[in-house]
Amino acid sequence: MVDDNELNLTIYRNALRSFKGVECVAFTSSNEALGWSARYEPDVVLVDYDMPAPNGLEFIEAFRRLGHNAEVPIIMITALTERDIRYRALDLGAADFLGKPVDIAEFRARMRNMLALSDGRKKLADHARWLAAEVQRATEDIVAREKETINRLMRAAEFRDNETGMHIVRMGHFSAEMGRAIGLDESTCETLLMATPMHDIGKVATPDRILLKPGKLTPDEWDVMKQHTIAGYEILKDSQSDLLQMAAQIALSHHEKFDGSGYPYGLRGEDIPLCARLCAVSDVFDALTSDRPYKRAWAIEDAIAEIDRLSGTHFDPALVHAFHEALPRIREIKKFYKDGTPATEVPTSV
């Protein structure tokens, strides 16, 4: 309650004594009332118009600028003839008016209504917070199930292809770090982290005689091997999940090359989805720097030089630049996720 007349404040207090649980905080200075309001949120505000500056209108304007008090009901006390002032008060956010001299019966009725309005507003806000919490829990449950799906797909691929394991975990992190380097939002980077490991899921459809062949593949066998990109896309496509939609793009296009010489469709430049272009850099860098049955791991500096050499042909030059920006983290990830540890968990963060 804000009124420069102490007697009026006393009358208002006495009129509200019968209201159970209501505490009246009264000010004869509107500046002091604004200072208090900056720290607290009242349920209802009663303010007189005719006060030393700031007057009632100026008080309402300043009060509404306090973000946490934007929805608090305000009753202004004005003379019945002051219509222009009432219109201005409505524009500024007043909810109701009392005329001078104040009728106590009307005062009690208006205050009861405003207190009920405030109580309902708080209950709605509490319900909204409860709903938001429920949505958050449901979202987290969906994400957890998506992660479990990825984990099981990764394990399925690991049974078929001895080049998976920690390789796919590192790739997810490499892609996410490069995504951050080019300014992708954190949600997209997290999706990259989880989608990239599914790039070769289509190899579950590749015959063992080709996938596990120790020697060089014949041209016909190589054509069959290339089909793992399309098989992976077929496995993952048509999902409503943003994560699996990205994983499907990656599975289909991670062997496309920037100059159009890749497979399965010979896409060129930015026609290749960004997520797949990121995956291509991650895949090649980690493959070069990892031991395989048919080769020893390259030194990291030699692998970096090879990535640079392939910029503009195999890789998007902008992403090669991002690769260099992300190299400090990529080196840390390479050390953290060493080969020899099964990829039994979906990668989160180092």
Rounded to an integer, what distance in angstroms lies between the CA atom of residue 140 and that of residue 190? Answer: 14
The pLDDT of residue 161 is above 70: no
For residue 311, what is the DSSP state?
B
Instruction: Indicate whether 210 and 327 sit together in one domain.
Output: yes
Query: What CATH number is attached to the domain comprising 58?
Result: 3.40.50.2300
**Mean of pLDDT over the chain:** 88
The pLDDT of residue 140 is above 50: yes
Instruction: Indicate whether 52 and 173 sit together in one domain.
Output: no
Can you give the three-state secondary structure of 207-239, one letter per residue?
CHHHHCCCCCCCHHHHHHHHCHHHHHHHHHCCC
Query: What pLDDT sits at residue 343?
Result: 47
Instruction: Indicate whether 179 and 314 sit together in one domain.
Output: yes
Instruction: Indicate whether 119 and 57 sit together in one domain.
Output: yes
Q: Could you read off the pLDDT of 19-69 as tens digits, one per residue?
A: 888 899 999 999 999 999 999 989 999 999 989 889 999 999 999 888 888
Write out the H or E segment, with its range, that includes residue 114: helix 104-160
Rounded to an integer, what distance in angstroms lies between the CA atom of residue 155 and that of residue 344? Answer: 7
Considering only residues 7 and 138, tell me which one the structure prediction assigns the higher pLDDT.
7
**Separation in Å, CA 105 to CA 15, 45, 108, 111:** 9, 18, 5, 10
The CA-CA-CA angle for residues 289, 295, 299, to 5°, reads: 30
Return the SS3 of 76: strand
* Cα atoms found within 13 Å of the Cα of residue 48, Cβ hemisphere only: 22
Domain count, the chain: 2
Instruction: Indicate whether 120 and 168 sit together in one domain.
Output: no
Instruction: Indicate whether 273 and 168 sit together in one domain.
Output: yes
In a domain, 227, yes or no: yes
Domain span at 55: 6-129
Instruction: Indicate whether 72 and 215 sit together in one domain.
Output: no
Chosen domain end from 81, 107, 129:
129
The pLDDT of residue 143 is above 80: no
Instruction: Indicate whether 273 and 227 sit together in one domain.
Output: yes
Instruction: Indicate whether 113 and 240 sit together in one domain.
Output: no
In a domain, 247, yes or no: yes
The CA-CA-CA angle for residues 251, 177, 151, to 5°, reads: 45
pTM metric for this prediction: 0.62
In a domain, 149, yes or no: no
Instruction: Indicate whether 214 and 108 sit together in one domain.
Output: no
Its sign, for the CA torsion 241, 245, 246, 251, is: positive
Instruction: Indicate whether 166 and 92 sit together in one domain.
Output: no
The pLDDT of residue 325 is above 90: yes
Query: What CATH number is attached to the domain comprising 205?
Result: 1.10.3210.10
Query: What pLDDT sits at residue 349?
Result: 47
Considering only residues 97 and 317, tell me which one the structure prediction assigns the higher pLDDT.
317
Query: What pLDDT sits at residue 158?
Result: 62
In a domain, 64, yes or no: yes
Rounded to an integer, what distance in angstroms lies between the CA atom of residue 12 and that of residue 23? Answer: 12
Rounded to an integer, what distance in angstroms lies between the CA atom of residue 149 and that of residue 260? Answer: 32
Q: What percent of the chain has pLDDT over 90?
A: 52
The pLDDT of residue 179 is above 80: yes
Instruction: Indicate whether 100 and 205 sit together in one domain.
Output: no
Rounded to an integer, what distance in angstroms lies between the CA atom of residue 167 and that of residue 154? Answer: 11
In a domain, 49, yes or no: yes
The pLDDT of residue 346 is above 60: no
Rounded to an integer, what distance in angstroms lies between the CA atom of residue 177 and that of residue 189? Answer: 7
Query: What pLDDT sits at residue 266?
Result: 97
Mean predicted confidence (pLDDT) in 269-284: 97
In a domain, 148, yes or no: no
Q: Are 182 and 322 in contact (CB under 8 A)?
A: yes
Task: Write the CB contacts of 247 (distance below 8 Å, at least 6 apart in sequence).
Answer: 150, 194, 195, 196, 198, 199, 201, 236
Chosen domain end from 85, 111, 129:
129
Q: Are 260 and 270 in contact (CB under 8 A)?
A: no
Q: Could you read off the pLDDT of 187-223 as tens digits, one per residue?
A: 999 999 989 988 988 988 899 899 888 888 999 999 9
Q: Could you read off the pLDDT of 63-98 as tens digits, one per residue?
A: 988 888 888 899 999 876 778 888 888 888 888 888
In a domain, 271, yes or no: yes
Chosen domain end from 70, 105, 129:
129
Of the candidate ranges 153-157, 200-204, 326-330, the one whose mean pLDDT is the lowest: 153-157
In a domain, 146, yes or no: no
Rounded to an integer, what distance in angstroms lies between the CA atom of residue 302 and that of residue 310? Answer: 13
Mean predicted confidence (pLDDT) in 233-255: 93
Highest average pLDDT, of 87-101, 129-143, 272-286, comes from 272-286
